Structure 1
């Protein structure tokens, strides 16, 4: 039996079904939401997680296209299949725009919907036009109207760090969304997707009855591909991938989990795989970094710089839901944006304390994020040169040759232009942390506490534990003396692996490693 083709880059439900491409059945969630008694729903998920496909599925469902749902879960659940007027607005094209451009964009989206309902002489403001559009569709059809808004926050995301511009664009969007409350008697269903939550956009500040399902257990798997779905609906695909890569089925599943799994969107969420990366992996028969290659997270980099977040601080932490589900305008930390954008996710939940454990989801995100951050610590670095040097270091460390790896790092840093504002140990600690993290095969942590102090960098390989101490403008021997004096190695005596101590000295003027010493 031939496998169905993968809908890579296709976000239209009707096209996927008509072309008989692979569709992971999410229609039970569609039925559940549309029969819950609620009217307004909001779902936050990271980019490339299937939000647009979900919106498109709602559009086909409310348009009464029963034939598209044959063989899916909803076919047995739905008895009526009523057709409603559907207004579908995609805001993803409204990025990187000034106020006037955004107003023109919204006007064009409204005009496209107005033509469908014979409105040729529209009112002036976007809010009055949306009101007229909903009223006309309601009166002509005799049925309540469905409003679907995909990526409602797209016009505001890239300016989230610029207060003045954000205020201007937010006012435009607030004006556009304002009729949704006033028109409530004429609305059957309103569904919005996005990445983050802008509380001062009218949909949240005025619609007090909107249900945010982003953290609900019953909708945790509505986007993405759950582990159960992978093992059942894509079971044959796993076998084909395993054969192509000359791996066992178990090895292939483990590799897929390592690279693309690890997401959880509620306290009791099942494992969720990144659908964009997973489908590309099956399509290419290769474990690539697809999610990062699909777009540079510029707004995230800008916010990391604004909040002065160190790379080593991105990762495991404890938080209440309010700390990572906070409105974007009121960010006190970077945590909400990291979570909502998909760079950290839920890894555990304690009911007693109501604390969530957050961490990086998987290898693809960890490597991709730090590759994006490295150029900001090494100005003028060419990504390709850095990738080659780091890959070579990884080989040497796996062979137990730390001396050779540091020599290679010294040669590489010697090719990087001088970096401003680096006259402190913390900068070089972050550089080493990023580089060692990008070695990908090893577990790396910084400022690890011991009874007598903190080790700058701890790196665990398959067969060795490295304790690395850094000094600036001193000597490698001084770094080693600190390791020995404070007996850092005793803290890790029960790790079951040989411990190797490494003292490294940076020269601030050269912006490079000056010397190092290694002791077993």
Structure 2
């Protein structure tokens, strides 16, 4: 059969439906927004999870047009079965503004881009200028915004003015949609004009969303809920549905059923297990969802596994938080990339300047930005809710490996020596591999505390960061095999050549290096870690014992 085009980068609902792109039906989101009953709804979700598309869907459903031009877009969709479909469809004017591309090095630069977005929306409603009853002040603001000549004060009141004019013209208040509201704030924090941006956004949003009788509903999306004290002050009528809440939890991202159906439709049904490992694992309101951008990209590339979502945005702020945050953050990351979990209170009201003030703020930022998943909420002794946090999938894990490698590469021992070390491992020059690994430990382990309670985890995380550069190998850690859990396993992706099992041991007091190495090799044999590789058809298996003491390391191997 002919397969539909995949909507890579398509976030306009009308374009997607009219051009017959593959569409995962999320139109029940419309019913949820109405029946939720909140005047203003804030929906924070990670990037590339369908926020802009969902707001576009709301726009085309509600927007009042001549001849109800958008009604056919919903024919056969799930929302058509809603009992109140005819009551709401095509009945309201709509304002939709997206700030996702409003990024610049300066405050004035961002303001110019916001002005451009507003001018485009005002142009869409330029019929209002023909209204003879329009008063002088609103008309002056409208014309200034329309022609790209508005002052900062006029931009701050623009949405309020537009909502009043639409209510007057149509006899009913508009639906106001604000997409990616926090993008300019995020950029402002990175570029150094955060306070000015907060001041503008507070006025820009409160004028239209605070006590405004000239709106039907307001729906706001972003990644974070920026601190109520700084941005949402006075908005007492706002309902915030984060990824921890149940309402609308499956309206963003793909469910297991939706993903399986799509893979079947594109003859990739036999790849469901690997897709689950790479792109599954997010928890929204307790429901498991897939990253839609990654799944679509995977199918579009013919079934090639790669970190598609990771490559769509900058991780500069995350790198900064991990490097400059409390030591317990780096300890936690070391545990997370090995598949372990951590417990933390989650703060859903974040202010960027306070991110480094507490580990809970950093974990919260990572959760809401899509780098972690949270489950098992419980009240602690302070009556605050703690969650278990975990890396959601293999794709996100690559972020942490990349950050660890960047610390290594930016240290005194540069990347060329890292490549030589990895090549030595590939060709079996273990003596040279050991020599270079010692160099890295001496020069590049300053980010880690190797004197803590569990230094084995520190070294394991460090080794995984180094080995992440072996793209021709599948690298796994801390998984069950035989009668236990191996530390690190490397298997060639092409299914041929030498596979490697690594067992890491800390040198204990009164223990010799030889004893420690022998113990590690004995554990590999007794626990039968090699059975997994043997079952996969590998016959050339290198068993490697690695013993460390402070910044020294010794290696012994057996085939």
**Residue aligning to 1:24:** 24
Q: Please give the alpha-carbon distance, in whole angstroms, between the structure 2 residues aligned to 1:491 and 1:389.
A: 26
Evaluate the alpha carbon distance shift between residue 40 and residue 422 of structure 1 in structure 2; reply closer, same or farther with a 3 A threshold: closer
Evaluate the alpha carbon distance shift between residue 384 and residue 192 of structure 1 in structure 2; reply closer, same or farther with a 3 A threshold: farther
CA contact (8 A) 2:488 2:502 kept: yes
1:29-40 superposed matches below 5 A: 29-40=29-40
**Residue aligning to 1:150:** 179
**Residue aligning to 1:135:** 164
**Residue aligning to 1:323:** 346
1:480-499 superposed matches below 5 A: 497=529
2:313 maps to which of 269, 292, 295: 295
Residue 217 of structure 1: SS of its match in structure 2? coil
Count of aligned positions: 479
Pairwise CA distance, 1:335 = 0.3
1:263 maps to which of 282, 290, 295: 282
CA contact (8 A) 1:11 1:50 kept: yes
Evaluate the alpha carbon distance shift between residue 253 and residue 106 of structure 1 in structure 2; reply closer, same or farther with a 3 A threshold: same
CA contact (8 A) 2:504 2:520 kept: no
Pairwise CA distance, 1:295 = 2.8
Q: Please give the alpha-carbon distance, in whole angstroms, between the structure 2 residues aligned to 1:318 and 1:424.
A: 18
The unaligned stretches of length 5 or more in structure 1 are 242-248, 397-402, 446-454, 508-512
The unaligned stretches of length 5 or more in structure 2 are 65-69, 130-141, 452-457, 480-484, 492-498, 531-542
Q: Is residue 2:208 matched to residue 1:180? A: yes
Of 108-117 and 166-175, more deviation after overlay is shown by 108-117
Q: Is residue 2:298 matched to residue 1:281? A: yes
TM-score (norm 1): 0.79
**Residue aligning to 2:249:** 220
Pairwise CA distance, 1:219 = 1.6
2:227 maps to which of 191, 199, 211: 199
Deviations, residues 229-269 of structure 1 (Å, cap 9, x unaligned): 122355322xx23xxxxxxx44x1101101111111123x1
Evaluate the alpha carbon distance shift between residue 63 and residue 127 of structure 1 in structure 2; reply closer, same or farther with a 3 A threshold: same
Residue 193 of structure 2: SS of its match in structure 1? helix
CA contact (8 A) 1:86 1:147 kept: yes
TM-score (norm 2): 0.74
CA contact (8 A) 1:39 1:188 kept: yes
CA contact (8 A) 1:501 1:518 kept: yes
CA contact (8 A) 2:279 2:294 kept: yes
Evaluate the alpha carbon distance shift between residue 514 and residue 37 of structure 1 in structure 2; reply closer, same or farther with a 3 A threshold: closer
Evaluate the alpha carbon distance shift between residue 18 and residue 406 of structure 1 in structure 2; reply closer, same or farther with a 3 A threshold: farther
Q: Please give the alpha-carbon distance, in whole angstroms, between the structure 1 residues aligned to 2:198 and 2:273.
A: 44
**Residue aligning to 1:349:** 376
Pairwise CA distance, 1:351 = 6.4
Q: Please give the alpha-carbon distance, in whole angstroms, between the structure 2 residues aligned to 1:25 and 1:175.
A: 36
Evaluate the alpha carbon distance shift between residue 303 and residue 142 of structure 1 in structure 2; reply closer, same or farther with a 3 A threshold: same
CA contact (8 A) 1:505 1:516 kept: no
CA contact (8 A) 2:210 2:234 kept: no
Of 492-501 and 255-264, more deviation after overlay is shown by 492-501
